[in-house]
A and B are shown apart, each in its own frame.
Chain A
Amino acid sequence: MLRQTLYGSLLLAALGLHAGDTVKLAITGPFTGGSAPMGASTRDGAKLAIAEINAAGGIQVGGKKMKIEAIERDDEAKNERGALIAQELAAMNDLSGVIGTVNTGVCMAGDKHLQEKGVTKIICPAAGSASMTQWSKAGVKDLSIFRFAAHDGIQAAMVVEEAINRKFTKVAVVFDSTNYGVSGRDDILNQIKLQGNKLQVVAQEKFNIGDKDMTAQLLRAKAAGAQAVLIWAIGPELAAVSNGMAKIGMKAPLIGGWTLSMSNYIDNAGKNGNGTLMPQTFIEEPITPKAKAFIDGYHKTYKVDRIPSAVAAAQGYDAVLIFAAAVKQAGSTDTHKIKAALEDLKEPVKGVIATWNHPYTKWNPADVTTHEAFRREQVVMGMVQDGRVVFGNAADKARLIKEATGTPAKPAAKPAAKPGKGKTK
């Protein structure tokens, strides 16, 4: 008897919890394996935002406050795992949305299941162009997939621009054989053409995931006279390239996708990684109060002194804030209504990367940027220095500090007093 009442009340409690008191948000990504620094950082950044929202009582949905309940799934960076997880999530009736996915291939394999059911997903931080262009190619009229990452189009443009600015004329394009690597190569070659063919591609070299010895590819690039290596790959192989270059005494800098800021690149490359350049949406330097609070919060919560992938963590954090704003505006946990709200977000969202004003608009198959939050101005060039990522160009840092301390637009005085001026400790 007693036992029955106990079970009964437990059941009631369980039902009560699941009867729409929470906003269910799935967080997916590779939490193990070579892509794990990005996946785990996205998850942890997102959970930091969730914890902050919940600590403040939750999101105001209609008449009541609702907490966010995170559902975590590890896709192991495997396309087939990603597809299975997407099917599982698509089958959940009360799911409000999905944030995550690091690997472009996983997006390609899984997102169609979510799109079929109209489940709102914010891709974060997978950057490969194909994961959004697949929808415009298919001519989809109504899309529930959004992206919150500096897509490879922006990144490739910055990489090529950087190489030209540094007065290089001969470059090698090096990439891995995954969807990410190959589409990165296409983006780079395309950008070189767009920016006036100022760079001559003297070598195109490919390698596979798991390769440790890149001597052959690098020697060919060196023999062809490459002054810089433009590269698109993932942490461990990037480190193998960097170490291989040191071994054959090749002094050309690595410039490439944001994956060059992954901890498993920086750690495995050691001092050979110094000077590597890559586009970043967030640099782990407490230059604004918001950034400082986020970095300190992450370090304290997860007991680390360096975020494994600061970009992924900050994007995961801001993505949750934007998602929560959409839930609030929709006044509902219904994923379709949240999607509509995301496409027309009225209130600006103060994130750690930037203040997001109307990040998305109604999907237009002819223009993927309608569902892309990042523009060129939210991305800066980062550089590896002694095991950390720092600002590659001092001008970017000064600009971000200035933006955060108010006074956007209208530069009152010439930025003569570069550092000291708006510094907030």
Chain B
Amino acid sequence: MNALIIGQMAVSGALMGLVYALIAYGFQLTYATSKSINFGQGELVMVSAFFCLTLTNLGLPYWLMVPGGLLFGALMGLIIERAGVRLALEQKSEGWILLSIIMGLFLFSAAENIWGRDDRPFPTPISADPIRVFGVDVTRLELSVAVGVFAIMGLIELFKRRTLLGKAFEAVSADRDAAELMGISATRTVMLSYALSGAVAALAGILVSPITTVGPTMASALILKAFSVAVVAGLDSGFGVVLIGMALGALESLASFYLGSGWREAPGLTLLILALAVRPTGVFGKAVIRKV
């Protein structure tokens, strides 16, 4: 019985952890090309979820709503890049930190005014009935999170490795100046990374909403954890976020079982401090040698 409970807690936690990983992956995408992060990523998740809810309420079927949502997310990513990040980056200032936070706050207020402050159910054709795997109850909804996360990360990684545009992405990530000398437009590539990051955020919203409901504050809890995952894994670690995300999710739910729900965040955050003390570049990060 006890082993089963541990298994149950670990599995449901790890599946939720995949959502942290997906949002963390969105951080990585923009960090790779521009060394900047959208601190309004959580609000992007939330606004996209609301947008998809509106599409669904308009009568759009699920399989059309998903690409619609992804497109919306990508568009929002582009807007944030243009309005909040590009100017600051051109001037080599750290202004994007504040600007992206401001954009997030703006999206938050907009969502409150357009959709209201209530938490709403997010309809989905995927069943929430549990299926029993080796004595552990998992719902199809939770499995859909795993499928969605691996699918989009796999697609983006394939795109980066197999296509010309993707190679440009990798080149700018590796060395922006050298890439520009080779005729690759760094600005375009940064735009691309923000669009991808926005689409990833939208997918995170679509996947997590049926489980947690949609509301203006839905992302505030997710985003801090996603950020922890990105930092612990290393901001350029690729699939590292998946492992760390699942581990953090599992740890959280085990902690809330054994220590009480008030303590669920504690072990994860302790681990974050430890990881940063021992490996400041992240568990899967590469140390950068800077020649002066």
User: CB-CB < 8 A to A249: which residues of B?
Assistant: 130, 132, 137
Residue contact B119 to A268, C-beta cutoff 8 Å: yes
Binds A, one of B1-9, B32-40, B42-50, B143-151: B1-9
**A32-B118, A34-B118 known; A206-B261 Cβ under 8 A:** yes
Interface 1/0 per residue, A238-261 and B, CB below 8 Å = 010001001111000000000000
Interface 1/0 per residue, B14-37 and A, CB below 8 Å = 001000000000000000000000
A117 on the B face (CB < 8 A)? no
State how many angstroms separate the Cβ of A331 from the closest Cβ of chain B.
42
Residue contact B137 to A217, C-beta cutoff 8 Å: no
Report the nearest B residue to A269, measured CB to CB. Answer: B121
User: CB-CB < 8 A to B253: which residues of A?
Assistant: 213, 215-216
A164 on the B face (CB < 8 A)? no
B62 on the A face (CB < 8 A)? no
A42 on the B face (CB < 8 A)? no
Interface 1/0 per residue, B95-129 and A, CB below 8 Å = 00000000000000000000011111100000011
A292 on the B face (CB < 8 A)? no
B12 on the A face (CB < 8 A)? yes
A21 on the B face (CB < 8 A)? no
Residue contact A220 to B257, C-beta cutoff 8 Å: yes
A207 on the B face (CB < 8 A)? yes
B278 on the A face (CB < 8 A)? no
Residue contact B261 to A32, C-beta cutoff 8 Å: no
Category for how many chain B residues contact A: 20 to 34
User: CB-CB < 8 A to A216: which residues of B?
Assistant: 9, 253, 256-257, 261, 264
User: CB-CB < 8 A to B16: which residues of A?
Assistant: 213
State how many angstroms separate the Cβ of A215 from the closest Cβ of chain B.
5
Residue contact A33 to B1, C-beta cutoff 8 Å: no
User: CB-CB < 8 A to B137: which residues of A?
Assistant: 247-249
Across the interface, A210 reaches (CB within 8 A) one of B8, B132, B221, namely: B221
* Interface set, chain B 208-232, CB cutoff 8 A to A: 211-213, 215, 217, 221
Give Cα A249–Cα B132 distance, bound, in whole angstroms. Answer: 10
Interface of B is mostly: mixed
Interface of A is mostly: helix
Report the nearest A residue to B217, measured CB to CB. Answer: A210
A212 on the B face (CB < 8 A)? yes
B139 on the A face (CB < 8 A)? yes
Give Cα A417–Cα B275 distance, bound, in whole angstroms. Answer: 74
State how many angstroms separate the Cβ of B116 from the closest Cβ of chain A.
7
Residue contact B261 to A268, C-beta cutoff 8 Å: no
A36 on the B face (CB < 8 A)? yes
Give Cα A247–Cα B15 distance, bound, in whole angstroms. Answer: 14
**A207-B261, A212-B212, A246-B128 known; A219-B9 Cβ under 8 A:** yes
A208 on the B face (CB < 8 A)? yes
State how many angstroms separate the Cβ of B96 from the closest Cβ of chain A.
29
State how many angstroms separate the Cβ of B267 from the closest Cβ of chain A.
13
**A212-B212, A236-B213 known; A243-B128 Cβ under 8 A:** yes
Residue contact B118 to A36, C-beta cutoff 8 Å: yes
Report the nearest B residue to A214, measured CB to CB. Answer: B261
Interface 1/0 per residue, A206-230 and B, CB below 8 Å = 1110111101110110010000000
Give Cα A364–Cα B119 distance, bound, in whole angstroms. Answer: 41
Across the interface, A212 reaches (CB within 8 A) one of B132, B139, B213, namely: B213
User: CB-CB < 8 A to B261: which residues of A?
Assistant: 205-208, 211, 216-217
**A208-B261, A213-B16 known; A264-B118 Cβ under 8 A:** yes
User: CB-CB < 8 A to B211: which residues of A?
Assistant: 212
User: CB-CB < 8 A to A205: which residues of B?
Assistant: 261
State how many angstroms separate the Cβ of A116 from the closest Cβ of chain B.
31
Give Cα A9–Cα B211 distance, bound, in whole angstroms. Answer: 59
User: CB-CB < 8 A to A161: which residues of B?
Assistant: none
Across the interface, B213 reaches (CB within 8 A) one of A206, A220, A268, namely: A268
**A211-B261, A216-B256, A247-B128 known; A33-B12 Cβ under 8 A:** no
User: CB-CB < 8 A to A246: which residues of B?
Assistant: 128-130
State how many angstroms separate the Cβ of B246 from the closest Cβ of chain A.
15
Give Cα A270–Cα B213 distance, bound, in whole angstroms. Answer: 12
A267 on the B face (CB < 8 A)? yes
* Interface set, chain A 32-81, CB cutoff 8 A to B: 32-34, 36
**A216-B261, A219-B9 known; A248-B130 Cβ under 8 A:** yes
User: CB-CB < 8 A to A215: which residues of B?
Assistant: 8-9, 12, 253, 257
Give Cα A208–Cα B261 distance, bound, in whole angstroms. Answer: 9
30 contacts between A and B (CB under 8 A): A32-B116, A32-B118, A33-B118, A34-B118, A36-B117, A36-B118, A205-B261, A206-B260, A207-B261, A211-B261, A213-B253, A215-B8, A215-B12, A215-B253, A216-B9, A216-B261, A216-B264, A217-B261, A219-B5, A219-B8, A219-B9, A220-B257, A243-B128, A247-B12, A247-B130, A247-B137, A248-B130, A264-B119, A268-B119, A268-B121
Known: A206-B262, A246-B129. 20 other contacts (CB 8 A): A32-B117, A33-B118, A36-B117, A207-B261, A210-B221, A212-B212, A213-B12, A213-B16, A216-B257, A216-B261, A219-B9, A219-B257, A236-B213, A243-B128, A247-B128, A247-B137, A247-B139, A248-B8, A267-B120, A268-B121
